Structure 1
């Protein structure tokens, strides 16, 4: 199928709650959708997200895309674009002016799967339809009451594993949050912690051992120290008993390969780039390594998670984006299902496009608030 046109829609709205970790916080949503259009009218949908700063006006987003990206797509077979392998060199080793990279992979693979009338997870080779999901709060900036309410609701909806943000300058606060979590989730829950590189290696070891002595069985610690401190990750692996090390979120494909080769992480954390995830996933499978699927927009990463044998978990973070699409992925009893529709299964809601499209940059005071999420899981 040839790619013949594209459409970009800009969105901007206030979040229903603040999200963040020990390093960052985000109060608003800055988003654009990219739709690549095939010769028979099918569309492939991708999501362009800026976490911390507004995207430029819609006309400028389109101008940059038309100048930097469109010449390499126009008229090409979508199958060829999906499978292309290039070696970037010299000045070409750089990011695009706007964050189109992940959205391009979403849209290209969505359109490719639609061209052969297959769900994306099936096109990628999956033989299973569902995988475990864990409840991730992005909760660092929530009050204690908000924290407990979020995780109590998640537990009531059937989640069996829960990840909280740690790395506070006062370690007692991390211990306090773990104690609060234990009060509101099931007794046999799996508990993960994510420090977002807040600690030094010996500090991480001391903190994890203190958590264990306080009666908290930590299933994994995510990004405890700097991403490329392989010696430090090995030290944590060796000294923290049953707690697994989950790393790689902030590394590119080359960095993930080096992490795998060093064998200093029990779990490799991957995200939303379809092509990149599958390529590093194949290498991980060849090495017998385990993978975890981190946050992806509207859980689109479930398609790659289902297709890779080393993935046991998909992250779900209650970011209240479901109103943007006609039908989100089904989440039930702590598991997430791939869509049976051709493509990745997410289709932009025309009601959302009319309601939340913001062609021009608005000041925060002008943003509309999306209503708080009414359901923490959905049945398709």
Structure 2
């Protein structure tokens, strides 16, 4: 386990971590050949999942992914179990590329090491001035698109989106702007809210306006607004995407970094079959960027911070509006185990006020709240 010091409060409409320091779980998988694979993400179910891969050849990673899912098929693979599968899968892909002595993006068949990205600061707790200063850092690295966390008050979100728009005009006359509501609205509220925002600000997409599994609700929203609808980062398995895709309820198919490389590749293939672009969440070393470089329908990767977690060195550069992947074998993540042993900072993802706890009145608000 390590920590990430964001240098600012982070969160969304559901809450925020005021101290700006969060846990970053690290999984190290050792082979009898002396290599170590790195997985980034929660893995609390490791004792239950690891027997599915122990003694296996990591080069068979896609088969091992299915073996892990089969290992828990009676009780299901959602939640923490899927997170553990994703962390192990990531470590196995890291090993596979290291065994080939090449960066993972090469192993996966990518032609170009550059991965387009967009700025995303988890910024709901920032003042307007702090929001501008944050996005100026992104603009100075070539970003021309950015996402704002909102969902409580349209006037506030309009003002903040315009502020980000002005900063990003440094690189584009018409920056791409996104608004993330993190499942905080009901259907009609979502349509009314987005319509009001769009009357003053052009939105590229609205993200998670209603609950992640609500195919009919998401379909109603995307049919009623101009912006594309992005969702999917919290879905765990292809079976959870099918109702959304069958209903035409999603325009930008998202995936979560913590679910692993194989999950991203399969979701991308499913989206491609529906002629839809895919966009992964990116944070904590942006490991899924290697896979994003290799799929034909990758649109953009979320870049949540410009720094890396404590004790980790990552062979990548954030520049030119995206992620430039390096040439070190595997994911290019080096872990300083001795440094991690010195951590004394209290991190904050697990606090009750944080964004991972859904508020009691989420989706049930009658009026905007500031």
Instruction: Give 3-state SS (helix, strand or coil) of 1:299's partner.
Output: coil
1:150-169 alignment, distance < 5 Å: 150-168=134-152
Q: Determine if the alignment matches structure 1 residue 209 to structure 2 residue 219.
A: no
Q: How does the TM-score come out when normalised to structure 1?
A: 0.80
Choose the corresponding residue for 1:23, options 6, 10, 14.
Answer: 14
Which position in structure 1 is the counterpart of 2:161?
A: 178
Count of residues in correspondence between the two structures: 336
Q: Give the conservation status (yes or no) of the 8 Å contact 2:280–2:288.
A: yes
Q: Give the conservation status (yes or no) of the 8 Å contact 1:82–1:112.
A: no
Q: Give the conservation status (yes or no) of the 8 Å contact 1:157–1:333.
A: yes
1:44-193 alignment, distance < 5 Å: 44-49=37-42, 65=46, 67-84=47-64, 85-86=66-67, 87=70, 88-91=72-75, 93=77, 100-168=84-152, 170-186=153-169, 187-193=173-179
CA distance in structure 2 between the partners assigned to 1:161 and 1:276 by the alignment: 26
Q: Give the conservation status (yes or no) of the 8 Å contact 1:257–1:280.
A: no
CA distance in structure 2 between the partners assigned to 1:138 and 1:332 by the alignment: 20
Question: RCO (CA 8 Å, sep 6+): is it higher in 1 or 2?
Answer: 2
Q: Deviations over 1:211-257 (max 9, x none)?
A: 2222x11111111111122222222222212x111111222222123
CA distance in structure 2 between the partners assigned to 1:189 and 1:183 by the alignment: 9
How has the CA–CA distance of structure 1 residues 233 and 74 changed in structure 2, closer, same or farther, with 3 Å as cutoff? closer
Q: Determine if the alignment matches structure 1 residue 309 to structure 2 residue 296.
A: yes
Over aligned residue pairs, what C-alpha RMSD do you find?
Answer: 2.6
Q: Give the conservation status (yes or no) of the 8 Å contact 1:31–1:48.
A: yes
Q: How does the TM-score come out when normalised to structure 2?
A: 0.82
Which position in structure 2 is the counterpart of 1:279?
A: 266
Runs (4 or more) in structure 1 with deviation over 6 Å come to none
Which position in structure 2 is the counterpart of 1:238?
A: 223
Instruction: Give 3-state SS (helix, strand or coil) of 1:315's partner.
Output: strand
How has the CA–CA distance of structure 1 residues 120 and 244 changed in structure 2, closer, same or farther, with 3 Å as cutoff? same
1:15, distance to aligned residue in structure 2 (A): 4.3
